Amino acid sequence: MTNFSPLSRDDADPSPLPEIPAQLRAVLNGIQALVGYWDNGLRNRLANDAYCEWFGFSPQQLHGMHIRDVLGEAVLEANRPYIERALAGEAQQFDRTLVDPAGESRFTEVTYTPDTRDGAVQGFFVQVTDITERVLADRRRQRDMDRYRALARSVPGVFVLLFDAELRYLIAEGQELETFGYRREELEGQRIQDVLKGDLAAELEPRYRAALAGREVSWSRQIGHRTYRLNAGPVYSDEDAAAGMVVAVDVTERLQQQQVWRALHELATEVARNAAPEDISERVAAIVRGLFNVDSAAVVRFTGASSAEIVAMAPTLPPTLSRRQIFAPTDESATVRVAVTGKPAHVVYRPEGGQVAEQMRAGGFQSAAAAPIRVRGSLWGAVSLTSKSRTGVTEAMMERLAQFAELVEIAIGNTEARTDLEQQATTDALSGLPNRRALERHLAEQVAVAGSRGTYLSAIVLDIDHFKRINDTYGHLMGDVVLAEVAARLRTVARSKEIVARFGGEEFVWLLPETDGAEALLAAERARKAIASEPFGDAGYLTISAGVCEQRDATAGSLLDCADRALYEAKNGGRNRTSRYGHPTPAAAQSTPARQSTPAGQAPDATEPREAQTKPEARTTRGA
């Protein structure tokens, strides 16, 4: 490869920039990409506005600059091979990750197109196209495909085909695929019309089209002495069927297994559609009951060494059975045996079988089996089935139940992982309360409910008095301890249907559905007294101020704004008090003398003059 000297900067002045017609500049600026032109001396001769803005130059400044001064030494060296080939007359295309002016990484596709005139390369055009969204979408699609492939590999006796809207196989995976005379390498990436033998493509196309249209299609096929049951259905992206899936099951020797693999397809689709963990568990319970033709089936989660909770049960939880159970290790229950041993278990209930067995017998159940569910390597719970006959559940079912439980692990594991991420995204890490993002969602929901029912919705905005002194005196670690403890005390005074969130800094918001202002005022007083009742370690006794507002037909902004105004009234009134918007503050809601404590923890209102405050234009986190 020729080593072009223009890569070493030539200090000769570039020729004058010719006037670019307005129409040409409009065309260049209309291209959704960075477009530029470098001559064979590697000096810029042309660039659209997007190109100039990216590098921070005006068109006049950029013109004539050497490429080294624009790209920098590191980027130039990375691009050197492509530049040299472009100047040799070879078109180039490559991907590059760039950092935009905002500091964000962007995935781009870069093309160098030589400008050849009279047999000589005069320079080359550059086009940089932002493909970030496409790359991220491809990664999401690949992640989903890896999930389906892993599911297919984990299940013996089946194969899975995933195809797109062009009837092109994206995934062809499974131990039984070769029985049909095909290998994965032959199918993946190929359209069915180009790869399937004989009239098979014409036979399958209408079924595949039906799956893409959102319908479930089932059929059977005889291959030699073996019979297969095939099921095609949609795989959803948002609200549309973006792809289809075929699951094929050998039903010759394992006819009952067919239902298991169909359940796999159903659960995989539910996971792909981001179904909630409770919905997945309910579906699992219903599927297990149908698969094994028993009276009842359940998904149970272990909550401790000797406790469990029935997450879902089909058909319904009988009145004789407690949803939350405390058991002894000696209880003769299938789920207890799983909890103790971590292995599948089968029991026939006896009168002396313990508390759980007694509850099951009271509901008319006589036999049961359970298999463990492990999530991320730990024993999560069990899937169980019960019968009102002593022979309705047998040990012969154990292998199938354990096998199905392994499939359930994948579905529950995926939904639990997603739920954990969602929880992290909506929970304040320091206080454990919902964060501002979650509060805004809850507030919008509660405003809509109050509006539809015509009920009150109240909001309390609470702020720790003189919190800045804690940080200044004891440091921010003590400040974090105080915030966490305030959050814990607020949780103890809030009712189950109410929402306490950390709005930011030392400010908290408490939403009280179906509560009028007078009741909310009492609730705020409970909170104020709970904060002032006990010292906060070395920080001593602290106080809070609170603002209360209630509305019917409220809007989220107006409700919080009014509560915020009431908070400022409480602050202006001397802190350590509660104010209700639009009402005089009763004596009981005014500050009480502060307890003696360390200087930073002392309630300042009893010893210092009140400080004048003004209401800001917008909600901010206060440090007063």
CA angle 37, 50, 103 (to 5 degrees): 115
- The catalytically annotated residue of 332, 506, 507, 569 is 506
Location of structure tokens 């073996």: 226
End-to-end C-alpha distance for the chain, whole angstroms: 69
Give me the DSSP letters along 226-292.
EEEEEEEEEEEETTEEEEEEEEEEE-SS-TTHHHHHHHHHHHHHHHHTT--HHHHHHHHHHHHHHHH
What is the spatial distance between Cα 64 and Cα 299, in angstroms, rounded to a whole number?
Answer: 71
Cis peptide before 315 (omega within 30 of 0): yes
Location of structure tokens 């004539």: 64
Q: What is the DSSP letter of 12?
A: S
Tokens of residue 480, six digits: 């974090």
* Count of C-beta atoms within a 10 Å radius of residue 553: 10
Amino acid type, 7 = L
Which residues in 320-361 belong to E strands, given as ranges?
324-326, 345-348
Residue 13 burial class via C-beta count within 10 angstroms: exposed 0-12, middle 13-18, buried 19 and up = exposed
- Which helix or strand (DSSP H or E) is residue 170 part of? strand 169-174
Decide if 491 contacts 510 (C-beta within 8 A).
no
User: Is 506 labeled as catalytic in the residue annotation?
Assistant: yes
Q: What residues are labeled active site?
A: 506
